[in-house]
Amino acid sequence: MYNNLIGFLEPATPIMEGIIDLHNYIFFYLVLILVLVLWIFFAIIYQFWYIIRRPPNSFVAWTNRKDMKNFRKFSHSSRVEIFWTVVPSFILVLIAIPSFALLYAMDEVLSPSLTLKAIGHQWYWSYEYSDYAKYDGTFSNNIAFDSNMTFESDLLLGEQRLLQVDNPIVLPTDLSIRVIITSFDVIHSWAVPSFGIKCDAVPGRLNQVFVLIKREGVFYGQCSELCGVNHGFMPIMIKAVNFGEYISWVKTKV
């Protein structure tokens, strides 16, 4: 599951790929700024150290020394002040352009091929696939189930502690999926790192996110909002399968 214990989890959606690319892009400028600040810092230290190590015979001579004049020119230069005002502004513009593009992509409203509704409870998740519902006095063929964490004593070999659930979500790959998120009681947060999703589940309100899963696999998440005493026991488990396997799973549920 964790191929990299320091960086991000392996992405499974275009949004998460964009988040990782933006992180690496911004980190380049952070390193550039760090090198520049360190250079200025050591240059100032060197100037002071150079003057102190070679003290003049008198205070007047010390203030008139060529070294001190050069230092004053360096520390009170208009060019330097313009430089450290213009360059950071330019860097912020370079960072803002891809940031706004990613934010727009994350908020884009698409025509979904499938809708999943996630409802937060204290302390478990419930899910509904309402696309298959038929109203005949009652909603028949509506796929709905609760998803509770599997206790450690019930885990099988290879299953993830505190992340395994009894009823995982099954979603198809290469389809636009809309996830509607809400809550039954208190504020929760539906978060799946590999998908680049973290959306609050608010009582009485419907929030939505869109996801396009690019590869098959099992992906985990957890509630990321302090929702009560069992907040750490609300895992999210998603099985991404190809379309044929998804249809077979749907037929077993409707």
Q: What is the pLDDT of residue 64?
A: 52
CB atoms within 10 A of CB 223: 24
Q: Decide the pairing of beta strands 169-172 and 235-241.
A: parallel
The Cα-based distances of 192 to 109, 148, 168, 200, 209 in angstroms read 19, 16, 13, 12, 12
Beta strands in 81-194 (DSSP E): 114-121, 124-129, 134-135, 139-140, 143-147, 169-172, 176-183, 188-192
pLDDT tens across the length of the chain (254 residues): 445 567 788 999 999 999 999 999 999 989 988 998 898 888 778 777 766 555 555 444 455 555 555 555 555 677 778 887 898 888 889 899 999 999 998 888 888 999 999 999 999 999 999 888 665 655 566 789 999 999 988 888 888 899 999 999 999 999 999 999 999 999 999 999 999 999 999 999 999 999 999 999 999 999 999 999 999 999 999 999 999 999 999 988 87
Contact 240, 215 (CB under 8 A): yes
Alpha helices (runs of H) in 54-139, residue ranges in sequence order? 59-63, 66-75, 78-107
Contact 56, 47 (CB under 8 A): no
Q: What is the pLDDT of residue 53?
A: 58
pTM above 0.75, yes or no: yes
